[in-house]
Amino acid sequence: MVSHELVSITPAYMDVANSRWLWLSTVPVVLVVLMQAAIFLRRAWNDGREMGLSEEKLKTGFKTGVISAIGPSVAVLAGMLALIATVGGPVAWMRLTVIGSVAFELPAAELGVSQFGYSLGDEGITEQAYATAVWAMTLGGTGWLLVSAFGTRHMEMVRTKISNGNEKLLPVVSAAAMLGAFAYFLSGEATAGTPETGSIAVGGLTMLGLLHLADSRDVQWLREWALGVAMFVGLLVGVAIRVTVGSWW
């Protein structure tokens, strides 16, 4: 499976993380996602016909769904590399097919290994620290699942209730909490060394530039690719700094 001369310095938990058992353990939940998609699709198709939607329109809807999913999926795949490098293939695949996105899974994994004083990418991350990352992603992701499972029926009511208050404050509070949390992740990485700081700064600036371009020219695909591109530019700058000036702290 894995040739050992190649993985000698790679953390030991990676053998476990990419093992056949972990691939197998991801299958049931992915099957549930596919099953839900299949039964909703069948019902939507039949009821849609009854509602007077032509076979033509339904097919167009399906085809557009397929085509529109290809570009973003490739973009997600690029972002998945960061997860594959840190938590292994099976978990990366499962978390990005089900529930998650790179923007949640990576921080959740970081919070997991940080319980042992590690940061993702550190040498010597133990199997226990890795397992904590898996638990953090899994249990953290259930928040959305539970709210959608039991809350969707009540959404309409809740929305009207909230909008009686100051609904404008909600996005502000939510964005501020997110910024505070990511600021914390950033400072953890920034204090790790100069290359990391360079990766952060350039990753962020690239993102700003691409999103600005996407907005001003209204280019949707650029928005989808922004994270993937920013990630790679940031990576290259990190490597460049390490092989040239090294780390100053």
Which residue, chain included where needed, has tokens 């994994």?
109
Q: Does the protein bind another protein through residue 186 (CB under 8 A)? A: yes
Please select the residue that binds another protein; options are 145, 219, 245, 246, rule is CB under 8 A: 145
Contact 2, 116 (CB under 8 A): no
Q: How far is the CB of 38 from another protein (least distance, A)?
A: 7
What residues from 156 to 185 belong to the interface with another protein (CB under 8 A)? Answer: 158-159, 162, 168-185
Complex with another protein: residue 152 or 164, whichever CB lies closer: 152
Q: How far is the CB of 244 from another protein (least distance, A)?
A: 13
Please select the residue that binds another protein; options are 2, 12, 219, 245, rule is CB under 8 A: 2
Between CA 78 and CA 47 the distance in angstroms is 37
Between CA 231 and CA 207 the distance in angstroms is 9
Q: What is the number of other CB atoms lying within 10 angstroms of the CB of residue 238?
A: 21
- How far, in Å, are 158, 161, 162, 165 from residue 154 at the CA level? 6, 11, 12, 18
What residues from 55 to 94 belong to the interface with another protein (CB under 8 A)? Answer: 57-58, 60-70, 72-77, 79-82, 84-86, 88-94
Contact 88, 17 (CB under 8 A): yes
Residue 154 DSSP label: G
Q: How far is the CB of 36 from another protein (least distance, A)?
A: 4
Going by C-alpha positions, the residue among 221, 198, 196, 195 that lies closest to residue 210 is 221
Which secondary structure element, helix H or strand E, spans residue 95, and what is its range?
helix 89-97
Complex with another protein: residue 181 or 245, whichever CB lies closer: 181
x/- binding map, residues 23-42, to another protein, per CB under 8 A? -xxxxxxx-xxxxxxxxxx-
Q: How far is the CB of 17 from another protein (least distance, A)?
A: 9
Complex with another protein: residue 85 or 245, whichever CB lies closer: 85
Helix locations, 98-126, DSSP H = 102-114
**Residue 12 tokens, joined:** 């030991």
What value, to the nearest 5°, has the Cα angle with vertex 192 and ends 187 and 195?
100
Please select the residue that binds another protein; options are 55, 124, 219, 239, rule is CB under 8 A: 239
Q: Does the protein bind another protein through residue 194 (CB under 8 A)? A: no
What residues from 90 to 119 belong to the interface with another protein (CB under 8 A)? Answer: 90-104, 106-108, 110-112, 114-117
Please select the residue that binds another protein; options are 12, 55, 124, 128, rule is CB under 8 A: 128
Complex with another protein: residue 39 or 245, whichever CB lies closer: 39
Q: Does the protein bind another protein through residue 44 (CB under 8 A)? A: yes
